[in-house]
Amino acid sequence: MSSPPAVSRRRAPRVAAVAAALSATLLTGCAGGKDVADKPANATSALKGFPVTIDNCGTRTTYEKPPERAVTIHQHPAEVMLALGLKDRMVGTAFPDSAVLARYRNDFQAIPELAKKEPSFETVLNAEPDFVYGGYGSAFAEKAGRSRTAFADAGIDTYLNREYCGKKRVSMQDTYDEIRTIGTIFGVRERADELVGDLQRRVERTARAVRGTPAVPVFVYDSGEKAAFTAGGKGLGTEIIRLAGGRNVFDDLGKVFGDVSWEQVVARKPEVIAIYDYAGAGSVERKKQFLLAQPALADVPAVKNRRFVVLPLTATVVGVRPPYAAWDLARALHPEKFR
C-alpha cells in the first residue's frame, strides 16, 4: 500500500490577490517543510510538541505550529474544540444539527455561523481559515467543491472525524483518540488528556451500573418509511448501546448506517426503540406516531409497550457526547438500576 500524501501546513491567504503572489512561495514551503507564510521554521519548531505529523483518513499533514483560524463543519467537531478550550481559535461553524450542550452554548453562539447546512467552498474561504474540521464525510464532498484536495490547494489544512474514514468498527476508544489527536494538533495535549480521563470515568460509571443485567434488544430508528434507516454495526451507536446494557438488533449490518426492511425489524423483536433526533429528519413526535400507526409493527415489543428513547444524533458519533449518551441510555434501558 502506498503512503498517504504528505501536506505541509500553510497559512490560508488573506485575500484572493495574495494567493497568486504567494503560489511559488507556498510550493517551496511544501517541498521544504517550512511554514514560509509565517515564522521561519527554526522559530516555529521551538514550540513544544511541534512540528507534528498527523495521518488522517489517508491524508498526512505536518503542522509546524497550531492552527489559528479553524472552521468546523457539523456540530460535534465544534463541541470537541470548545471542550478543549479552543474557542479563540475558531472563526466559523456550520450545520448545527441539534441543541448545543448547555456548557458550551454561550461560546458556540459567540462564533460566527457560516451556514445552516454544509457551507459552500467560497463561504469557507471567506472566513480565511487555516484549518477545517469536518464531522461527516459530506463536509468534504467533492461534488460540492469541498474536497480535501481543493482545500489543500488553497493552503488550508483539513481533518475528518475518524468515524468516517470507513475502515473498521468504531468504538469509544475512537472518541478518546479523536480528542487526543485534536489536542495534539492544537498544542493542548494536557487538556485533551484531562478531558479523556473525565469521559473514561463516566463510561466506567455506566458500565458498573448495568453490570450483570441482561442485554436489552434495541432498534435504532433514524428515519425512513418504505424502509427503516438504522444504525449498523460499524458506527459508535452500537458501542453506546452495548455500554448501556443493550444490544443493537442490527449490529450485523456492516455499515455505520443502512436501510433494513420492516419485516426484518419485526423478526428481531426489539424491546426498545432509540429514535435519533436531528434537524431535517422530522420531529421525534412525528417519528413516534409513524411507528405506532404501522399495523405490521403492532406486536413488536417496543411498539406494543411504547418504549421509546430519544438520542440526539450528535450524541452517537465520535465527539464529547457519547459517554453521556451511554449513561442516559442505560437509565432508560435499566431504570431499576438507577432508582
Taking phi over 0 as left and psi of -120 to 50 as alpha, with beta for the rest, 145 belongs to left
Stated as kind and residue range, the H or E segment containing 54 is strand 52-56
- On the question of a common fold for 6-160 and 213-338, the answer reads yes
Instruction: Report how far residue 51's alpha carbon sits from residue 59's, in angstroms, rounded to the nearest whole number.
Output: 16
Question: Residue for cell digits 472552521?
Answer: 71
Taking all residues of the chain, what is their mean pLDDT, rounded to a whole number?
87
Q: How far apart are CA 79 and CA 108, in angstroms?
A: 8
What tens digit of pLDDT does each residue of 210-263 get? 999 999 999 999 999 999 999 999 889 999 999 999 999 999 999 889 999 999
Spans of all domains in the chain: 6-160, 213-338
Least confident of 108-117, 142-151, 280-289: 280-289
CATH 3.40.50.1980 holds for 213-338: yes
Quickly list DSSP for 75-107: HHHHHHHHHTT-GGGEEEEE---SPPPGGGHHH
Q: Read off the pLDDT of residues 2-19 as tens digits, 9 standing for 90 and up.
A: 334 444 333 344 334 334
Model confidence band, residue 46 (pLDDT cutoffs 50, 70, 90): low
- Average pLDDT on 20-40 reads 33
Domain 6-160 has CATH 3.40.50.1980: yes
pLDDT exceeds cutoff 60 at 1: no
Q: Does the pLDDT of residue 276 top 90, yes or no?
A: yes
pLDDT in tens, 162-175: 988 876 888 999 99
Averaged pLDDT, 97-112: 91
pLDDT of residue 169: 85
Q: For residues 314 and 317, give the distance between their C-alpha atoms in angstroms, rounded to a whole number.
A: 6
